[in-house]
Structure 1
Amino acid sequence: MHTDDVLFVRLLFTSVMASVDFRDNLLGISWVDSGWVPILNPGNVLDYFSERSNPFYDRTCNNEVVKMQRLTLEHLNQMVGVEYILLHAQEPILYIIRKQQRQSPTQDIPLADYYIIAGVVYQAPDLGTVISSRALSAVHGIQSAFDEAMSYCRYHPSKGYWWHFKDQEEREKNKPKTKKKEEASSLFQRHRVDTLLLDLRSKFPPTFYQPKPGEKPIPVEVKKEPEPPAEAVKQEEREPATKSSAPAPPSKPPPEKRARLQ
């Protein structure tokens, strides 16, 4: 695991968190008035949405002006400003209301959408919020994976890096421990040692031996061959010298040829 990768993930996590504005964010809240839930229908759902306790409703919108003047909702097309309209209705469970900026009778700009499910009002997230939420969830999962992976990483100067998992410890504990018989020496070592001992024994024979443990050691008598006297050695040395110095007998010449008598 490289340090640069961890820093990159943390910076990405910080940037995504900074891009999400939690102040004045209505995506995490909901509103419901249980008294209205049994009687909700497409005709009164905008009145239900315009309750004063509803945090999603803007009091400065054109719907308030129409309500105060006791006009119909058709007059909203002739006004300019923020307004709320019923976009979709699926009785009795789902209603969708849109908040938009009216610029002309034929031109408006959507600002936000709200959906009512079983009387509970939620704000629908926009595309930027959805992407930020998905990116935040992905980065959080990646960061958690990096942290967990780093907790299993081990390092030692002599061994280097390796992974040490908790399951591995449990497996090692549950494994039956079998002790391997360690041989004192190999066949090659024993053969070499025996050869060296025999060589040393021939060069340096023991001076004592002990027939039984606990008994007194007995000295070993080493039989030495009698050395020949010095005069005999000198005489043997002289004999080959005299034999080699005696002159060889002269060789006989070939017989002379005699002339034949006629």
Structure 2
Amino acid sequence: MATTPMVPPILAAGNTNFDVNPAPPPPGTDMTGICFRDQLWLNTYPLDRNLVFDYFAMSPFYDWTCNNEQLRLRSIHPLDISHLSYDPSLNTRTEYMLSELLEPHLFVFRKQKRDGPEKATPMLTYYILDGSIYQAPQLCNVFSARVGRALYHISKAFTTAASKLEKIGYVDAESENEALESKAPKETIDLKEVKRVDHILASLHRKLPPAPPPPPFPEGYAPPASTEGEKRSEEQQAEPQLPSVDPILDQGPSKRMKF
């Protein structure tokens, strides 16, 4: 495999990424909040599988102590799988592998720890999308963010629905009260009509004759021995009987409700 061309010194001197220490400390594990892009490099070199690693090595995501950097110092292509897998001197450091690519738009790098010729433990993932380099978030962080966002929208939806239901219930209660009030008939009392009815009833009560006395006992009827009840009845018969009062007609003005 052909060796990867190094960045020209003139370009390196003019790039702010090379003005600092050429061997910066290893990048942190959480760098999902930053993005790297060098438009000058992209305008000068094509972004393909042969030069994409040189472009990635310019970003702060690159670990200068990886196995790929050792291959670059030996003028070997840093993505040569044969050297990364079978070189015994490189089995104790981390390395970067180009796992997926869609030239020239998408390149996916996987950072892994080489534990043996056939064994490597994945650590982090980086991707280059249209010239911009990002660190991919971990799957647990993605799930946590998605669940938190879903819970937020569900809570907001329930709050909005509850507020709307309260308004609907308040409006329905007001409409029901208005309907009941409109249906209830409003009774109007005419005082003149009440006095006129009282006058008619009083005149009828004066014109009616008194109630007749009770009929006499039939012939041959022998009343039983005198008792207190009979004595009372005899006393009542001896007393003059007052005319019975009609309970319906005897409704004088004094017993009516005053308005």
Equivalent residue number for residue 215 of structure 1: none
In 2, Cα distance between the equivalents of 1:27 and 1:123? 5
Aligned residues: 159
Alignment correspondent of 1:60 = 65
Q: Which amino acid is the alignment partner of residue 49 of structure 1?
A: F
Q: In structure 1, what is the Cα distance between the partners aligned to 2:29 and 2:162?
A: 37
CA deviation vs aligned residue, 1:37-61 (integer Å, no higher than 9, x gap)? 242111011111011xx23222322
Q: Distance in 1 between matches of 2:183 and 2:120?
A: 89
User: Which has the larger displacement, 93-102 or 66-75?
Assistant: 66-75
Kindly state the Cα deviation for residue 182 of structure 1 after the two structures are TM-superposed. 8.6
User: Distance in 2 between the 1:124 and 1:103 partners?
Assistant: 23
Q: Where does 1:163-178 land on structure 2 (aligned, <5 Å)?
A: 163-164=166-167
Taking the aligned partners of 1:113 and 1:184, their CA distance within structure 2 comes to 81
2:41 is matched with 36
1:55 alignment partner, SS class: coil
Structure 1 residue 69: Cα displacement:
4.0
SS in 2 for 1:84: strand
Q: Which amino acid aligns with 1:41?
A: D
* CA positional deviation for 1:97: 1.3
Map of 1:136-175 to 2, 5 A cutoff?
Answer: 136-152=148-164, 163-164=166-167
Cα deviations across residues 24-46 of structure 1 (Å, max 9, x unaligned)? 63333321111232421110111
**What is the rounded CA distance, in whole Å, between the counterparts of 2:126 and 2:62 in structure 1?**
10
Aligned to 1:201: 199
User: How far is the alpha carbon of 1:141 from its aligned partner?
Assistant: 0.5
Q: Aligned partners of 1:147, 1:109: CA distance in 2, in Å?
A: 46
Displacement, 1:204? 5.2
Name the structure 2 match of 1:110. Answer: 122
More strand by share: 1
- The amino acid of 1:116's aligned partner reads I
Is the 1:37–1:118 Cα contact (8 Å) retained in structure 2?
no
Q: Say whether residues 1:49 and 2:20 are aligned partners.
A: no
Aligned to 1:84: 96
Gaps of at least 5 residues in structure 2 are 1-27, 176-181, 208-259
The equivalences for 1:209-248 within 5 A come to none
TM-score normalised to structure 2 length: 0.50
Q: For residue 101 of structure 1, what is the amino acid of its counterpart?
A: K
Name the Cα RMSD after superposition.
3.7
Pick aligned residue for 1:93 from 102, 105, 127: 105
Give me the identity figure in percent.
32
Equivalent residue number for residue 246 of structure 1: none
Give the Å deviation of 1:203: 4.6
Question: Which residue identity lines up with residue 87 of structure 1 in the other structure?
Answer: S
Query: Could you say if the C-alpha distance between residues 182 and 114 of structure 1 is closer, same or farther in structure 2, counting changes exceeding 3 Å?
Result: same
1:146–1:184 Cα change, 3 Å: closer
Aligned twin of 1:130 = 142
TM-superposed deviation, 1:181: 10
Note closer, same or farther for the CA distance 1:66–1:140 as it changes in structure 2 (3 Å cut). same
* Structure of higher CA gyration radius: 1
User: Within 2, Cα distance between the matches of 1:184 and 1:128?
Assistant: 71
Q: Distance in 2 between matches of 1:146 and 1:94?
A: 41
Shift in Å at residue 66 of structure 1? Answer: 2.6
Q: Which amino acid aligns with 1:163?
A: E
- What secondary structure is seen at the aligned counterpart in 1 of 2:49? coil
Unaligned stretches of 5+ in structure 1? 1-22, 153-161, 173-179, 206-223, 226-262
